[in-house]
Amino acid sequence: MLNILIVATYAMAAAIAGGIAGMALGLPLYQGAMLSLIFASLCAQVHLGMLRRKDKKKTARDIAMLRRAGLSFQKSLDETGSKMAEITQIVETRTNENNRKIVSELQMLEGLMREFASRISNKAKEIPAPQRASLAAPQRTAFNKLADGTLLEMIRTSLEQNRVDLYLQPTVSLPQRKLRFYEALSRLRAEDGTVIMPAQYMRIAAPAGLMSVVDNLLLFRCVQVVRKLTQKNREIAIFCNIAGDTLADVEFFPQFLEYMHHNRDLAGQIVFEFSQDALMKAGSAGEANLSYLSNLGFALSLDHVETLAVDFAKLKRLGFRHIKVRASTLTGGMGSAQAIVAAEDFKGLLARHGLNLIAEHVEDEKTVVQLLEYGVDFAQGYLFGEPRAVRDEVLKETPAAERTAGTGAVIPLRRAG
């Protein structure tokens, strides 16, 4: 539209100029018209020249702007590439440091395992055959039918040959039933692959002084799983059981505390669990060890609770943050457990002392309804998941395999055999 107006303006100006010139010079009409056309053509040429000049300047400006933008973009790309290279280097450095730390930790644990297995193995060999036979006498099962302490020897060799499996059982939040914790459980495995349950091996392992070895190997497995766990979800912790005999072991426990001191980064992912009986027998030295462990940042949990006549303030001072109570106790056994409050008030009592209540051995939906009435926040039992063994390949994966592993379940498990 603008160009049309310009052309019309030039034509009008040329006609006026041609008419004036023709009249001034006394030229005929057709010559005046020719003069007008020539003048209009000259005006058009001048205008086109101006437009080309303007376009050239604009094009030059656009080219310059594009060059500047290109240089800026290239500079941005170079800076981004440099930053990415720097970040990659930092990640690789940290990964290598973490991998070296993991390898160092595992080597240390394996060294401790061999040391204690050898020490206690020699101790077990010193037990006279009649005494070993008497240790094997209770609970007649397929294993206990083995004469002359063969079961004790089977347990000892299982420990020496590192045939200790880790099983994990989930603890969920209520009412959502969202996974919140795992409890680590140990199982020994005979040479033929038969699983030796805790109820079977603890009666014999404890008197023979082998429980510290079991706990040491369980800790070894927990560390491996926790390292895998924290790569995917740092909100889920693993409860690791420590036997009362281990807490009282003057050789093992100080080394255990020293090890955890150097691995305080695991504090948010491992909760150490002790039975009520172990706590009652801990004495001042054992309680000092518990407090030291708590001061490192590790939370403690109390399980196998037989009586609720407990000094909850003392539990808090020692560093306990969780207490597991059987669902049957909460739903119908508070009186026999010597509780000072009713079931519906028990959670509030614990909360005032900084303790989480976990109902365990939950087997049916009716029990869940009752627990919800009591305000219970966490529950564990076969209703929510049975203990499952961690796949061997998970514990044996190399750091390189970890970096290329796909995203799957938090902890790959296999059904207990």
Contacts of 325 (CB under 8 A, 6+ apart): 305, 308, 346, 357, 358, 359, 360
| Range 272-300 average pLDDT | 93
Most confident region among 1-10, 264-273, 404-413 by mean pLDDT: 264-273
Angle between helices 198-205 and 211-229 (to 10 degrees): 130
2-11, 133-142, 295-304 — which is least confidently predicted?
A: 133-142
Q: DSSP 3-state assignment of 63?
A: helix
Going by their DSSP bridges, the two strands 164-173 and 378-380 should be labelled as antiparallel
Phi, psi of 83 (to 5 degrees): -65, -40
Question: Is residue 105 pLDDT above 60, yes or no?
Answer: no
Determine the pLDDT at residue 78.
65
User: How many whole angstroms separate alpha carbon 83 and alpha carbon 259?
Assistant: 37
Determine the pLDDT at residue 10.
56
Distance (Å) of CA 143 to CA 126, 138, 214, 215, 291: 22, 11, 18, 22, 39
User: How many whole angstroms separate alpha carbon 330 and alpha carbon 337?
Assistant: 9
Question: Is residue 138 pLDDT above 70, yes or no?
Answer: no
User: How many whole angstroms separate alpha carbon 336 and alpha carbon 13?
Assistant: 117
> Which of the pair, 181 or 72, is modelled with greater confidence?
181
User: How many whole angstroms separate alpha carbon 402 and alpha carbon 396?
Assistant: 10
Q: Which of 409, 335, 406, 346 is nearest to 373 (CA)?
A: 346
Q: By the 8 A CB rule, do 31 and 18 touch?
A: no
User: How many whole angstroms separate alpha carbon 159 and alpha carbon 161?
Assistant: 5
Q: By the 8 A CB rule, do 315 and 323 touch?
A: yes
Question: Is residue 295 pLDDT above 70, yes or no?
Answer: yes
Going by their DSSP bridges, the two strands 195-196 and 179-189 should be labelled as antiparallel
Question: Is residue 18 pLDDT above 80, yes or no?
Answer: no
User: How many whole angstroms separate alpha carbon 96 and alpha carbon 10?
Assistant: 79
User: How many whole angstroms separate alpha carbon 304 and alpha carbon 325?
Assistant: 7
Share of the chain above pLDDT 70, in %: 60
Determine the pLDDT at residue 378.
97
Question: Is residue 133 pLDDT above 50, yes or no?
Answer: no
Q: By the 8 A CB rule, do 226 and 394 touch?
A: no
Q: By the 8 A CB rule, do 138 and 144 touch?
A: yes
- Enter the tokens of residue 53: 């000049």
CB atoms within 10 A of CB 140: 9
> Which of the pair, 103 or 236, is modelled with greater confidence?
236
What single-letter DSSP state applies at residue 341? S
pLDDT tens-digit map of 359-410: 999 999 999 999 999 999 999 999 999 999 887 655 555 343 333 223 333 4
For the chain, what is the mean pLDDT? 76
